[in-house]
Amino acid sequence: MFISFNGVTKQSGSRDKVIDFKIPMIMFWHGTDAAMAINRHNEGVLDRKYIDYCQAHYTGAPWIKNELEIIGINSNILPFKHVSVNLQDSIYEEINILTYLAKDKEIFYGWNTVKLLATHFNNLNFTVVGSDVMGLDPLFNVKFMDWCNENEMRRLRSTHAIFIRFTEHDGFSLSVIESLAGGMEVIWNYPALGAEYARNIDEAIFSMNKIISRLKSRNLKCSIENKLIARTFDKQTVMTNLINVLHEQTNH
């Protein structure tokens, strides 16, 4: 079986051999893949040869499934990202906010919204990972940390009570799942169990106020409820489901 984790970009020769030898093939669609495919479909340049040959299409996000249906691709929901969850209680020393902005793509990843939130909640500290301050207009309560390794991210999730993700387009973000697994409160501009859904700055401010009240009501303890939600993405569950699907498609 040939598995493509990119539903749009060709890999030289690989897929032609797959078709020639009638090898079963499935595709996993991420956020960028769907956006690229829709753009190419609208421009009339989407190559459907391998898309239509494929035995099955999968994605981790319901909205990606809906987007693919618009261009005639029927997909199934199959989570393929996994996290580890520690159900131990922990308490934050203060309410800090964490977000990720990809370097040179800060606007796409929501810098304008983050900046407005930091301005509105100027009594709270915000931490930005993934980017430095170059080319941006920083605020006194926003710290930029550039790239961070896995251990540093784990530490940051343990000291920050809230995670914000406000991208222009998204798949089912691993950073959101990791934040839920760490017991953080999450504000996301895509709907997900455990996360506050906010589509614009007004809704984000409303969600922030709700979360701050919730945190104070439990004396700044982390969210065990969100940790339990994240357990549906534990490695054993995700890999077992994935292997079962591969076996099923191989035997077709």
Domain ranges within the chain, ordered by starting residue: 2-82+234-250, 96-232
Residue 141 to residue 38: CA distance in whole angstroms: 38
Read off the pTM: 0.89
Pairing relation of β-strands 2-4 and 142-144? unpaired
Residue 125: its H or E element: strand 125-129
Secondary element (H or E) of residue 1: none
Average pLDDT, the chain: 91
Angle in degrees, CA 188, 191, 192, rounded to 5: 90
Q: What mean pLDDT do residues 215-236 have?
A: 96
Give the pLDDT band of residue 161 (cuts 50, 70, 90). Answer: very high
Instruction: Answer yes or no: are the C-beta atoms of 79 and 109 closer than 8 Å.
Output: no
Quote the CATH superfamily of domain 96-232. Glycogen Phosphorylase B; (3.40.50.2000)
Instruction: Report the greatest alpha carbon distance in the chain.
Output: 63
Distance CA 35, CA 67 (A): 8
pLDDT digits (tens, 9 = 90+) for 35-75: 899 999 999 998 888 899 988 999 999 999 999 999 999 99
- Tell me the per-residue pLDDT of 167-218, one tens digit each, with 9 for 90 and over: 999 999 999 999 999 999 999 999 999 999 999 999 999 999 999 999 999 9
4 φ, ψ (degrees, to nearest 5): -105, 125
Rounded Cα distance between 78 and 66, Å, is: 14
**pLDDT band for position 93 (cuts 50, 70, 90):** very high
**Lowest mean per-residue pLDDT among 7-21, 162-176, 195-209, 238-252:** 7-21
Rounded to an integer, what distance in angstroms lies between the CA atom of residue 236 and that of residue 200?
36
Token code pair at residue 79:
């989570």
* The predicted structure's pLDDT at residue 12: 45
Surface-to-core class of residue 149, CB atoms within 10 Å of its CB (0-12 exposed, 13-18 middle, 19+ buried):
exposed
pLDDT band at 4 (very low <50, low <70, confident <90, very high): low
pLDDT digit string, tens, across residues 68-91: 999 999 999 999 899 999 999 999
Estimate the crossing angle of helix 31-43 against helix 62-70, to 10 degrees: 10
